[in-house]
């Protein structure tokens, strides 16, 4: 396998604090040239990325509730609306782990459902970031099922800001815990083609990476 054939799996990501507009332009240009499926950029740069990728097949994704997911649902909803109005086609939302760990499953499910509905009303996709480094296998399974039932399009391993990123065991578990039509995005610490293919073989349908080159 070559790195070129990985292109349809790649969400080329730049979420580093302090990234500059010219870096976003380079990110988008590279994604277009290499045929990556999407770029994932900070909310501040969504309109720029939409302009840079206009007329191409590259989708623009951004983050919601990033990086800890502790925003109130109303705040996440407003983030989502503004991103969608700016042209975002995919939302990567950090799940409300504080609510989950407090046992408020209804809040978590309602939030995912609300943001999924907003995304779908705009023809966009919702990826739910679980932050698997903080979860037991049983919790990963439970949140995958919750996300599926609430209408999410993907479950995603990590923000890249926790103690560790994606691991193969979690991706296998996620794949087994969601319906076949749902996507699984592995992200966080994936830096080589060999790692990427291992995650794809484990069931990932997207690879989020800032080191796609």
Residues annotated as catalytic are: 92, 156, 185
Token pair of 95 as six digits:
């799940």
Which residues lie below 8 Å from residue 139, measured CB to CB, with a gap of 6+? 100
Question: ∠ CA(71), CA(27), CA(164), 5° rounding?
Answer: 50
* DSSP per position, 8-37: GGEEEE---TT--HHHHHHHHHHHHHHT-S
**Cα–Cα distance for residue pair 139/12, rounded to 1 Å:** 28
Peptide bond before 67: cis, by omega within 30 degrees of 0? yes
Question: ∠ CA(14), CA(157), CA(51), 5° rounding?
Answer: 30
């Amino acid at each position: 396998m070559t790195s070129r054939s990985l292109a349809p799996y790649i969400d080329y990501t730049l979420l580093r604090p302090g990234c500059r507009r010219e870096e976003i332009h380079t990110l988008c240009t590279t994604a277009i040239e290499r045929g990556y499926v999407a770029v994932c950029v900070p909310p501040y740069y969504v309109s720029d990325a939409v302009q840079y990728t206009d007329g191409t097949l590259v989708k623009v994704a951004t983050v919601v509730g990033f990086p800890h997911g502790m925003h109130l649902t109303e705040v996440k909803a407003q983030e989502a609306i503004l991103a969608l109005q700016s042209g975002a086609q995919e939302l990567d939302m950090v799940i409300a782990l504080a609510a989950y760990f407090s046992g408020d499953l209804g809040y978590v499910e309602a939030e995912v459902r609300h943001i999924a509905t907003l995304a779908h009303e705009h023809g966009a996709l919702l990826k739910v970031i679980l932050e698997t480094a903080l979860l037991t296998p049983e919790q990963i399974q439970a949140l995958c099922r919750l996300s599926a039932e609430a209408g999410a399009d993907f479950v995603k391993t990590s923000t890249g800001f926790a103690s560790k990123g994606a691991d193969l065991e979690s991706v296998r578990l996620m794949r087994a815990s969601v319906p076949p039509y749902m996507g699984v995005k592995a992200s966080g610490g994936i830096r080589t083609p060999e790692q990427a293919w291992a995650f794809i073989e484990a069931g990932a349908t997207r690879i989020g990476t800032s080191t796609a080159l």
